[in-house]
Amino acid sequence: MSRRREWSALTLILLIAAGLRFWGLGDVPPGFSHDEVANWLIARDILDGDHAVYFTAAYGHEPLYQYAQAATVALFGDHWLGLRWPSAAFSLLGLAASYTLLRHLFSVRVALLAIAWSGVSFWPLFYARVSYRAILLPLVAALSAYFFLRVLLRPLDRAGRAPGSCLSKALTAGLFVGLSIYTYMAARILPFILAALVVYVKLVRPRMSIPWCGVLVIFLIAALVSAPLLLWLAIHPGAESRVAEVRLPLDRLLVGDPSLVWQNLVANLKFFTFAGDPWPRYNVPGRPVFAEPLGATLFVIGLLITLWRWRDPRYGFLLIWLIGSLSPSIVTSEAPSSIRNILGLVVVFAFPAIAVVELGRWVSSKIPALEFAIHRSVSLAPQALTILALALCAISTARDYFIRWPRNAVVRFDYQADLIAVGKWMERLPAEAGVTVAGLSVDTMDAPSLALASRRDVTDVRLCDTRGTLSIPSSSSDDRWFLIPRIVPFDEDIRQQLMDWGAEEDHRPSFTSYRLSGEAGLHRGLSRLGAAVTLPDDTAVALPALFGGQMTFLGYKQPDPTHPGDPLRLLTYWRVEDPPPVGLKAFAHLIGPAGEIVAQDDGLASPSDRWHRDDILIQKHVLALPDNLPWAAVDAIELGLYDRSTNRRLPVLTADHLELRLELGEE
């Protein structure tokens, strides 16, 4: 193949791969996972001056990807493009690096076919479109392997170049091997893969002169480059909490029980052709790397050819790399794991490429005596097979990634699709409108997720978990909006209270909105609340009652029981006077005949740092009596507030709680 045709083919392949990676990048995945949001927060911390060698947030992160992402966030802004651009770019650069490596080892045809397959396959496409740091590893690892092999296998250089000095290549290889440790934890197997390759070459080619000096330089430079991170991790052994969570198979193996490792080995052997990653967050559950029968067949044929030629260092490299890349998933839980196997992206697609090229050579060698027309048609069979296999792969990938995968309910949950839809829709609301958004992670990830999703300033948006709490924002306008993502349950008693106050309900595909206009309905409803409240000494208390100068108790409501014998459902109403600097919890205790607590419920799932003066909060408490204890035995309900960080109760008048005298009656 001429150089011009080679470059034209390479450019076309990379353009197609780029199209798949950038098309609809803000829409698929259908939102942002917590991992992506955590990466964005790290990027913001970097831009604010936190220049760490290892980031401990979100189970721990190696820093190289994070610094690149911080640069794109600074360049493109706080949205999907700044967040996901590095992954798409590193994926394309990884294809180019793999092409360079495979071209050096085999041929232009093998290299082009391999990256064409990789460019349109689901596995590499997925990691090219999410902001996970693992996608940087194949790029750095492919460059490491290329320069390492230029040193180790230089005596086998088929181009006949003069040996010359390999010092510059050794220095470059060592640099990339060391940098790989800063990408993703699976990179820690890379030095062992390269060391195994040296041992393998020495065993299969005992007469071959190993450039020991160059190899030593590579590992020395790699050690020096990776030393800051490795030393930091050694000093802070608890920083990688995720490692402790998934290392059970390895721990079992170290004490003589290989059963879990064996199960993982079997699962990883199926990863390519039978049963892939089972987790919806990373894959169509169970979809193998080669989901099409033709692609799977060619992969197996290429693997068999490689096994047959295992004494050739080029094929030996493929086998050693493949086995090594599976090791992180084999010795950890939840196998097979596409993210822990990601080092395999460097070589996996070389196997079907080798099969196609060898099939073409076999066909050409078997038909030299046939008529020209027959020879020509038969010799085109491998090309037709290649086009068919790549087309089937591309169609399967497009269907599975852009249509099937985003519709999975678990995927929509993991990528917060409903919450992100709320964030985008909020952009159309007036800036002065009071807005409350329901969520399931209101104290941690919901706020940054909304900030990332919306071009609107969301710092004044109230958050609450509507399974038991509703925050009603004070507002300078007549409108208050309550946006409930479809995935978040809305307690029916609280919802009914909102509707009783005159809210307008509007169901949308990803969320339900409630619009509460004016003040009349709200004030009228609050004026009708129960007020039979005393101090512990039975002194009657006139409501409203102020707790600690921060929150005012307005009253309560006891909804009618849905069924006889149901737990007590109690709605309490609070007004913010002075937003507390730390989180508060509301408690409700059922007090038995001997003054003991027989049931309790804590609530107020709404971050107080977003509260404003005159905000109203509704808290629902559900209190169930123990068996064989009648409601008539309940003496009172204690109600109060406490500081979540210290458990210190807020004072109210001369006590630390109020007591509600309800009409409980017999069961």
CA–CA distances in Å: residue 596 to residues 553, 633, 641: 24, 11, 19
pLDDT surpassing 80 at residue 165: no
pLDDT band, residue 666 (cuts 50/70/90): very low
How far is Cα 145 from Cα 151, in angstroms, rounded to an integer? Answer: 10
Quote the pLDDT of residue 450.
Answer: 97
How far is Cα 137 from Cα 90, in angstroms, rounded to an integer? Answer: 9
Of 99-103, 153-157, 296-300, 580-584, least confident by mean pLDDT is 153-157
For residue range 2-29, list pLDDT tens digits in order: 889 999 999 999 999 999 999 999 999 9
pLDDT surpassing 70 at residue 160: no
For residue range 62-79, list pLDDT tens digits in order: 999 999 999 999 999 998
Q: What is the pLDDT averaged over residues 76-93?
A: 96
For residue range 501-548, list pLDDT tens digits in order: 999 999 999 999 999 998 888 888 898 888 889 999 989 999 999 999
Beta-carbon contacts of 234 under 8 Å, excluding residues fewer than 6 positions away, are none
Phi, psi torsion values for 600, nearest 5 degrees: -150, 160
Question: Residue ranges of the alpha helices (H) in 438-581?
Answer: 446-453, 492-500, 520-526
pLDDT surpassing 70 at residue 255: yes
End-to-end CA distance of the chain: 88
CA–CA distances in Å: residue 439 to residues 192, 449, 461, 587, 643: 45, 11, 12, 21, 22
Q: What is the pLDDT averaged over residues 206-222?
A: 93
Tell which wins on pLDDT, 662 or 614: 614
Q: What is the pLDDT averaged over residues 144-162?
A: 73
Q: What is the pLDDT averaged over residues 426-432?
A: 91
Q: What is the pLDDT averaged over residues 154-164?
A: 48
Average pLDDT, the chain: 92
Q: Residue 646, exposed/middle/buried by CB under 10 A (0-12, 13-18, 19+)?
A: exposed
Quote the pLDDT of residue 665.
Answer: 52
The DSSP line for 62-111 is -SHHHHHHHHHHHHH-SSHHHHHHHHHHHHHHHHHHHHHHHHHHS-HHHH
Quote the pLDDT of residue 93.
Answer: 98
CA 639 to chain centre: 40
pLDDT band, residue 403 (cuts 50/70/90): very high
What letter does residue 572 receive in the DSSP assignment?
A: E
Phi, psi torsion values for 628, nearest 5 degrees: 70, 10
Question: Residue ranges of the alpha helices (H) in 181-312?
Answer: 190-204, 212-235, 241-246, 248-254, 259-269, 293-308
Of 77-91, 301-315, 482-496, 579-593, least confident by mean pLDDT is 579-593
pLDDT surpassing 90 at residue 53: yes
For residue range 264-315, list pLDDT tens digits in order: 999 999 999 999 999 999 999 999 999 999 999 999 999 999 999 999 999 9
Q: What angle do CA 287, 349, 168 make, to 5 degrees?
A: 135
Tell which wins on pLDDT, 366 or 646: 646
pLDDT band, residue 380 (cuts 50/70/90): low
Inter-residue contact 185 to 138 (CB < 8 Å): no
How far is Cα 386 from Cα 236, in angstroms, rounded to an integer? Answer: 50
**Token pair of 287 as six digits:** 């979809």
